[in-house]
Amino acid sequence: MSKIFKSLLLAIVVIGAFLLLMPTKVRPVAWAPQPAPSLTSGIFAENRRLQGMERVGAVDIDGPEALLLENDDTLITGLHDGRLISTSLDGKSRKVLADTGGRPLGLARHPNGLLVIADAVKGLLSLDAQGRLVALTTEAGGVPFGFTDDVVIDKPGHYAYFSDASSRFGYGHDGEAVIEHGGDGRLLRYDFQSGKTTVVLDKLEFANGVAMGPDDAYVLVNETGAYRISRYWLTGPKAGTHDLFIDNLPGLPDNLSFNGHDRFWVALYAPRNALLDGTAAHPFVRKMIVRAMTVLPKPVEKRGFVLGLDLEGKVIANLQDGSSDSYAPITTVREYGDWLYFGSLKAQHMARLPLGKALQ
C-alpha cells in the first residue's frame, strides 16, 4: 500500500471521526419546513433595488446592529465591542454614550427619556441622561436570558416587549441554535412599574426582531429558525392569543420595525439554505453540519435582503442586492421620514436609501 494511499485513508478516518464523534451540545430536532419560495420569479424575485445606498453616520465602526434616528440628525447604535454611540448623519461627530460590557442588539426610547437596550450578554438594560447604566431584568420564570435580542416599548411606556432568542445558546452561537431547532426562544414583557418580567410566548424558533402593531393592538416577533413572524394579540377579542402574521419567508428574518402608520420592515439575514432545509428531517446529519461549521465557513449567502409588509402581512416591497460589494447582511431596517435606514451585524457603517426608491 503506497504512502499516499495510507495518508489519504488516514485523513478520511480522521475527518469521519471528527464529523461523527466530536462533542457538541447541539441536539437537533427533526422538522419539516415548507418548500422555499422562488427567488427567480414571483414576489421574491432577485433584484438589485438596494444598490445605490449611501453611507450615513460614523464609519470604521464594528457591527452597528440596532439604530435609532433622533432629532432628525443623530443616529444611535450599538457596536460589537459593547459600546453605544451617537453620531451625526455626516459622520463628522460621534460620542460614546456607554459601554455595556456585552453586545447591544436592540434599542428603544422610553417616553420618559430612558434608552432601553436589549443586550445579548447582559439582558435588558436602561441608560439615563446622566449615563447611568442599569440592569432591568436578566431572567423570566426562573430561566436566565441566554441571548437577549430586540426590544420595543408600548406608547404609554408601561411595558417593554423583548426577545430572548435562545435560552440554551448565547451570542455568537446563533447558527447552532437555528440548526438545533429546539424551540427555546421566548417573547417577554417587562413591567416598568412593578419591575416584573413575564413570558408572553415560549417555544419560539430563535426569537429575534420585535415590533408593536397599530395602536399597540398586537406585538410581532420574528422566528428566525422557522422563517416566519408570529403575532401576539394584546387587545380586542383575540387578546391573549397568537397566530402567524406571515409564514414561509424566503430568508432568515432578523430585526423587525413598524413605521407607526401602515408598514412593517423585515431585515432578512440571508436567503434560505437548501442544505439546511434539505436536512431538516435528519438530526444526525445536522449534527455533523454543526461539527463541520467549527472549522468551515457557515453556509450563508451574502445578499442584502429586506421586505416591506402591509398591516395584513402582505409583501409590498422586495429589496435585494446580491452583488459582491452589497451592504450585507442587513440585520436592521427602520423607516424615518423619506428614508430607509439600515444597520448590519457585520458592516463597518450604517446606510440609507430613499424611501421612494424602496416603494417603487
Instruction: For the chain, give the mean pLDDT.
Output: 94
Cα separations in angstroms, 161 against 109, 177, 201? 12, 22, 11
- DSSP per position, 218-247: EEEEEEGGGTEEEEEE-SSTTTT-EEEEE-
CATH number at residue 230: 2.120.10.30
Query: What is the longest distance spanned by two Cα atoms in the chain?
Result: 78
**Who's near 280: CB < 8 A, 6+ residues apart?**
30, 31, 32, 33, 181, 286
Residue 11 in domain: no
Residue 71 in domain: yes
- DSSP secondary-structure letter at 327? -
**Who's near 142: CB < 8 A, 6+ residues apart?**
none
Residue 312 in domain: yes
pLDDT for position 360:
85
Q: For the chain, how many structural domains are there in total?
A: 1
- Model pLDDT for residues 135-174, shown as the tens digit of each residue: 999 999 999 999 999 999 999 999 999 999 999 999 999 9
- Model pLDDT for residues 300-357, shown as the tens digit of each residue: 899 999 999 999 999 999 999 999 999 999 999 999 999 999 999 999 999 999 999 9
Give how far the C-alpha of residue 277 lies from the chain's centroid of Cα atoms, to the nearest Å: 19
As beta bridge partners, residue 219 has: 212, 232
Whether the model clears a pTM of 0.75, i.e. scores above it, the answer is: yes
Residue 31 in domain: no
pLDDT for position 295:
75
Residue 154 in domain: yes
- Domain of residue 119 covers 45-359
Cβ(133)–Cβ(125) below 8 Å: yes
Q: How far, in Å, CA of 352 to CA of 57, rounded?
A: 10
Residue 37 in domain: no
Residue 220 in domain: yes
Buried b / exposed e along 38-48 (16+ C-beta atoms within 10 A): ebeeeebebee
**Model confidence at 17, in pLDDT bands (50, 70, 90)?**
low
